[in-house]
Structure 1
């Protein structure tokens, strides 16, 4: 079932630039990787990072000598590191931050194919690189997700309790909600940010344009409303999906946010075992898993039944009423029904209905009829 979801999501959501806007080569003098087709800078490292799903992604680390914090940036759709190179460098300079950015699997010169699960593995690999290679601490890292990048950003943020902050730039509630104003989350949906954002414990800044005709501004507003720690949002009047950084209030508000984050006294909860945190199971909203608490409920129910049985056995057996066996049979039947429900006996029929409905949606919409994820001249 996960493979079906991943395959359909890939057809809908991902449009890597083809051909890539840059090339990667080994510098003959230093032996280090370098990016071809862009202006070389001494403070930029080009890396290849392996993910747990077997892909090798291209990443770029930009040093700023004045930085006390580091941004892990997940870019939007239909772009790659070559197209974002100059803007990333300017952003690092203006905000006085170190910045690590990366290309998703299948983007730029990263290997593999784009998929929701691959992007989760991609950002995890980039985060581990940031911690293990550059010595960044979780409490000094800000996750920045733009448009499509809000998906892996929000997902990772739910599993990093000591994270310094999160920035969501033109974010999506979920993939399906970009196309249809649905009120609930379906199993085949991708990037379920609306379900995950309440699990993010650090301050969150949301930036969205009021005239965004790709991802409506209501997406950003609903996500902000569901945040635990809300920072003053930025709704850029007249701003569209791909031009928010051109407005002067964009960089001004970001500087204000960074200054507030730097001054805030971050609460440290002790040691931070990075591998353990990243290996935690993802929310069951990503897959149609039954919550484990249902097993506990079943055990509790069994215990209560056992106690009742023991209580009955301690009484005079001769005084038992004839209705006793009938009640016992009824209770067993109710337990059987409960166990049947817990084991999801009726789920396959519901799943088939969902697949049929999703198939109808695919046929009616067409594989590329999603403005949110269509390629554009500028980054999405």
Structure 2
């Protein structure tokens, strides 16, 4: 399973979750590729910002498994995010298959490099018995995070069943509550770093009902 979610956290205590399919997955058209997952998450964020006035300060990004790739891609471009959650995340595509110690130029989803560029609090959740992505991936990502939040290592948890453990929802709620209590401080973005790499002409905003 790979997924990305955007948790919308408002100071008025109203909360919502936005889930979407990548190109070539679920009901989405197009072809699955690393580039397209980056394009997709940028398009969703662009829609939230322009059509619904959602600020990055009101967002918590949630990436699961391979979905951690596009999540960290966007997180490196938004310096005002509330937080990031990495669930069963990978260090990189090749590292998920082979125990390599270096990053090759042809590797994909190079999270091991991008995590160090994320400036908001990061919660890492991983099962100690994950047979798809070893627990050491989550442990290393947490170690490399700039702003570490208490990680959740679920004893005996696998790759796709962590939601069934009571401590999962308790810890996630605790994290969201803690992020909502943080003061809104807009971090200065270094010059030359784009907030998005998606050209406006490349996509149309997703349409869903306003509340």
Match of 1:68 among 7, 10, 14: 10
Structure 2 unmatched ranges of 5 or more: 199-211
Match of 1:188 among 80, 85, 106: 106
Residues 104 and 263 of structure 1, relative CA distance in 2, 3 Å threshold: same
Aligned residues: 192
Structure 2 contact 91–141 (Cα < 8 Å) conserved: yes
Q: Could you tell me which residue of structure 2 aligns to residue 206 of structure 1?
A: 124
Match of 2:75 among 154, 157, 167: 157
Shift of 1:150: 0.2
Q: Could you tell me which residue of structure 2 aligns to residue 121 of structure 1?
A: 39
1:142-291 to structure 2, matched below 5 A, reads 142-269=60-187, 276-279=194-197
Whole-Å Cα distance in 1 between the matches of residues 62 and 14 of structure 2? 15
Structure 1 contact 105–118 (Cα < 8 Å) conserved: yes
Shift of 1:270: 7.0
Whole-Å Cα distance in 2 between the matches of residues 176 and 224 of structure 1? 19
Whole-Å Cα distance in 2 between the matches of residues 132 and 251 of structure 1? 31
Whole-Å Cα distance in 1 between the matches of residues 163 and 14 of structure 2? 16
Residues 236 and 62 of structure 1, relative CA distance in 2, 3 Å threshold: closer
Question: Any idea what the Cα deviations from partners look like across 1:141-189, whole Å, max 9, x if unmatched?
Answer: 1110000100000111011111111000000000100111111000111
Q: Which has the higher helix share?
A: 1
Q: Could you tell me which residue of structure 2 aligns to residue 97 of structure 1?
A: 15
Whole-Å Cα distance in 1 between the matches of residues 150 and 17 of structure 2? 23
Whole-Å Cα distance in 2 between the matches of residues 157 and 62 of structure 1? 13
Residues 107 and 147 of structure 1, relative CA distance in 2, 3 Å threshold: same
Residues 62 and 151 of structure 1, relative CA distance in 2, 3 Å threshold: closer
Whole-Å Cα distance in 1 between the matches of residues 6 and 146 of structure 2? 30
User: What's the C-alpha RMSD, in Å, of the aligned pairs?
Assistant: 2.5
State the TM-score, normalizing by the size of structure 1: 0.48
1:280-319 to structure 2, matched below 5 A, reads none
**Partner secondary structure for residue 208 of structure 1:** strand
Shift of 1:97: 2.1
Whole-Å Cα distance in 1 between the matches of residues 88 and 153 of structure 2? 10
Structure 1 contact 100–130 (Cα < 8 Å) conserved: no
Structure 1 unmatched ranges of 5 or more: 1-13, 16-59, 70-94, 281-380
Question: Any idea what the Cα deviations from partners look like across 1:293-315, whole Å, max 9, x if unmatched?
Answer: xxxxxxxxxxxxxxxxxxxxxxx
Shift of 1:62: 9.6
Whole-Å Cα distance in 1 between the matches of residues 57 and 6 of structure 2? 18
Structure 2 contact 7–62 (Cα < 8 Å) conserved: no
Question: Any idea what the Cα deviations from partners look like across 1:289-347, whole Å, max 9, x if unmatched?
Answer: xxxxxxxxxxxxxxxxxxxxxxxxxxxxxxxxxxxxxxxxxxxxxxxxxxxxxxxxxxx
Whole-Å Cα distance in 2 between the matches of residues 169 and 97 of structure 1? 20
Whole-Å Cα distance in 2 between the matches of residues 234 and 169 of structure 1? 10
**Partner secondary structure for residue 207 of structure 1:** strand
Whole-Å Cα distance in 2 between the matches of residues 99 and 178 of structure 1? 28
